[in-house]
Every structure is written in C-alpha cells, then in structure tokens.
Amino acid sequence: MISTARQPTSALGQAGATEAPPLEIHDLTVSYHKKPVLWGIDLVVPAGKLVGIVGPNGAGKSTLIKAVMGLLPLNSGWVKIYGKSFQKNLKRVGYVPQRESVDWDFPVNVMDVVLMGRYGHLGLIKRPSKRDREIARECLDKVKMLPYSDRQISNLSGGQQQRVFLARALAQESDVYFMDEPFSGVDAATESAIITLLHELRAKGKTILVVHHDLPTARNYFDMLLLLNMRVVAFGPTEEVFTYELLQKTYGGRLTILSEVAEAVRQKV
C-alpha cells in the first residue's frame, strides 16, 4: 500500500501502451541556504486522482510544488510530467499559487487575471482572442465569479480572490493541477465550492495535487494523501495512510495536532 511511492517505473519505456503518469519524481533534494528542505523524494502519482499533500509547518509542502514546477533549483533528482521534463509539457500543467504571493493592488480586473490563464496557450506576442475571452468567461462562471468580472482585484474578499485564481487555473485547460493552500483563509462557501470544482475536474480525468494544512478535513477531501516531512513519510489511498502511527511519524511530537489526529482517527473507526 504505502509502497506505491517506491513502485518501479517500468511502464515508462513502453510508449503508446499506457500514458506515463502525470507526475513522477525521482530522488529529489532541495535546500535553502545550505539546509535541505526536501530530501530524496520519490513519488509516482497515478492519473485521475485528487491528492492532498499534508505535513507540519516547514515540512516542505510548498517547496515540493515549486520544485516540481521548476521555480526552485534542485540539488539532485529529476521530475517528469507525463514522462517528459516540465519545460516540455508546460501546457499540461496548471498552477494555483498561494494567495499572498501576489500584490492584490495590482491594476488589473478579474477578467484580466483569468485571461492570464490563456497566455500559455497563446505563446509570445499574440493577444487573447474572442475565443480566449469566451473560455475565461466560462471559467469565471464555474467559480460563480462572472458578475464580478469587471472588478478591480483588491475589491474582492479573500475567498473571491481564491476563486479568481482557480478560474485562472481552469482557463489553462491543463491535465495536472498544482494548488498551493487553496483553502487557506477562505469562507465556508468558497471552500465547498472549491471542493465541488475539484471533484468535477477529477471526474474529467484530471490529476490534482493540493497542499493542505487542515488535517481533519484532509481525510474527507482527498482520494490519496502524501504525508510529507522533509521526506515522504507515506503516500497512498487516504483510508490506508490516514492512520495514527503514520500521522505521528509525520508530525513528530506536536501534541495539539496529535490530539486532533487522534480525534479524527477515532471518528473514522
């Protein structure tokens, strides 16, 4: 079960038979200021799954996503998206960064931001076409933000800003999505809207990796969980991985979190 992470990647060579997995990581090490943050990560994520990445603060959850997308230099190892390097498969990857990573006073409106999701398909120089606007409008509608499309982005609530980011990712029309804490600081309505949306995407065969910080909800939201603390503690179907022992291994001796875990595990039994 847990050994999914260590599965040999033999299927890779046989092109044509089955497509390579959406995400494959081998021996990934990343360090900040001479201190390793991720160490020897091996991971193969199967297609069509909703994967939660959980772990304590500083476990390297966001770092993992950034490293996969080439936003951070790697000390060792490699990453493949559908069997190719990330740079060769850009269009198949959608990204939802943390909300705090941008300046919300930036002079753009909601529509402009969602249109940015189309930029990758346009390539250099070309301007967004009518069709791109149409797609952007559909994506806004899916997150119920269409009425706000002319709003300047600072005039939105935190949840609305997050939905704009989601709409932008949808507009990318990718096959695998990386989302960095999409649930942080959003209202309950947005949280359930996001979850519905993620399920819809999964139903279409997309693969979604979500950095998540809330353990109790993690169990209900995701098909598979990646327990991360500098190394991969466990990776597998939620019901197999969400055990007291593994979570304790992930979170170490942090008492408050552990009691939450204990509560969550008890509910499950």
CB under 8 A: which stretch of 96-104, 139-147, 227-235, 253-261 binds other proteins?
Answer: 96-104
Q: Which of positions 105-124 make contact with other proteins (CB under 8 A)?
A: 105-109, 112-113, 116-117, 119-120, 122, 124
CB under 8 A: which stretch of 83-91, 184-192, 233-241, 250-258 binds other proteins?
Answer: 83-91
User: Rounded to 5 degrees, what angle do the CA atoms 129, 130, 131 make?
Assistant: 90
Which whole-number Å values give the CA distances from 218 to 28, 48, 136, 222, 258, in the listed order?
Answer: 25, 18, 30, 6, 14
Told to check if 80 binds other proteins by CB under 8 A, we report yes
The nearest distance, CB 221 to other proteins, in angstroms, is 23
CB under 8 A: which stretch of 46-54, 104-112, 195-203, 208-216 binds other proteins?
Answer: 104-112
- Residue 45 main-chain phi, psi, to 5 deg: -100, 120
d(CA 166, CA 197) in angstroms, rounded, equals: 9
Q: Count the residues of the shown chain that bind other proteins, applying the rule CB under 8 A.
A: 46
3 state SS of 47: coil
Told to check if 129 binds other proteins by CB under 8 A, we report no
Told to check if 74 binds other proteins by CB under 8 A, we report yes
Q: Which of positions 137-166 make contact with other proteins (CB under 8 A)?
A: 152, 154
Cα 203 to chain centroid, rounded: 16
Which whole-number Å values give the CA distances from 248 to 194, 245, 265, in the listed order?
Answer: 28, 5, 12
Cβ nearer to other proteins, comparing 132 with 251: 132
